[in-house]
Amino acid sequence: MGGDRLENKTSVSVASWSSLNARMDNRFATAFVIACVLSLISTIYMAASIGTDFWYEYRSPVQENSSDLNKSIWDEFVSDEADEKTYNDALFRYNGTVGLWRRCITISKNMHWYSPPERTESFDAVTKCVSFTLTEQFMEKFVDPGNHNSGIDLLRTYLWRCQFLLPFVSLGLMCFGALIGLCACICRSLYPTIATGILHLLAGLCTLGSVSCYVAGIELLHQKLELPDNVSGEFGWSFCLACVSAPLQFMASALFIWAAHTNRKEYTLMKAYRVA
């Protein structure tokens, strides 16, 4: 009788431990899958944000591109020697958009520089873009934009460099975290995903830092170069993608860290329970 009772208790204990362990595995697996989905979405958003040219958009009246002045502005805009004031003046006048890599303006498709066409209600427009060179990305910003004798504005200089570099750091951290998560799946262990969570946390901080630097840089620029009359500016959808990416990274980080830490803790408790 004593042996049968002991055997029954052992069977019940094993069954209870197995049932609890299965519930734990399902809970952690669900959290892991949700975190992976959030991570994937934030990576896509961040990559799209980096690769598009709509971080900031200007809205201005349509220019007919019929004067020598307009031709001069266009020529200077595409010039390799264009300074900050030159290309920003063109952005203000020609419905410009700015990304991390390129600046674009919208001009008339058929440009009549010296003999203006007959005025019509609308103009066929085409968008022309010029890429920022690495030299321009790391070039110093001046206190008075375009005036090289006004001194270097260190704040705007480092804000520009940070807004350019931090998104790439963020994307790299997420890719490295995904690689660690893949290794965790192969090893059938959630514990290594705590490193993935930490990397996503750092990536979210980098994205948030990039967005903050961009906003501060734009505000400081507009204090130096005031927008002309009838010209307005607003943050574009590329900027919004970066803003959405940051909280997704933070949520993925929280789920990765929670799943790894709690799984490790409860696994230790279950191991002790099983031994007892």
- Chain segment 207-240, per-residue pLDDT in tens: 999 999 999 999 999 999 888 888 899 999 999 9
Highest-pLDDT range among 21-35, 56-70, 134-148, 165-179: 165-179
Please tell me the predicted confidence (pLDDT) of residue 271: 46
- Percent of the chain exceeding pLDDT 90 equals 37
119 pLDDT higher than 90: no
Question: Given this model, what pLDDT does residue 263 score?
Answer: 62
Residue 268 burial (C-beta neighbours within 10 Å; 0-12, 13-18, 19+): exposed
Residue 100 contacts by C-beta under 8 Å, 6 or more apart in sequence?
50, 55, 132, 163, 164, 167
Lowest-confidence pick of 5-9, 29-33, 259-263: 5-9
Classify the C-alpha dihedral 150-142-157-229 as positive or negative: positive
Domain residue ranges in the chain = 27-112+123-270
Read off the pLDDT of residues 97-110 as tens digits, 9 standing for 90 and up.
999 989 998 876 65
Say whether pLDDT at 20 is over 80: no
Average pLDDT, stretch 150-156? 90
Where in the chain does DSSP place strands (E)?
56-59, 97-98, 102-108, 125-131, 232-235
**Of 178-182, 214-218, 267-271, the least confident:** 267-271
More confident residue, 243 or 265: 243
pLDDT of residue 68: 57
Q: Is a pLDDT exceeding 60 seen at residue 9?
A: no
How high is the pLDDT of residue 63? Answer: 62
pLDDT at 86 over 70: yes
pLDDT of residue 110: 54
Q: How many CB atoms lie within 10 A of CB 161?
A: 17
27-112+123-270 maps to which CATH number? Answer: 1.20.140.150
Q: What mean pLDDT do residues 76-81 have?
A: 72
- The pLDDT assigned to 193 comes to 81
Q: What is the pTM of this model?
A: 0.79
pLDDT at 45 over 60: yes
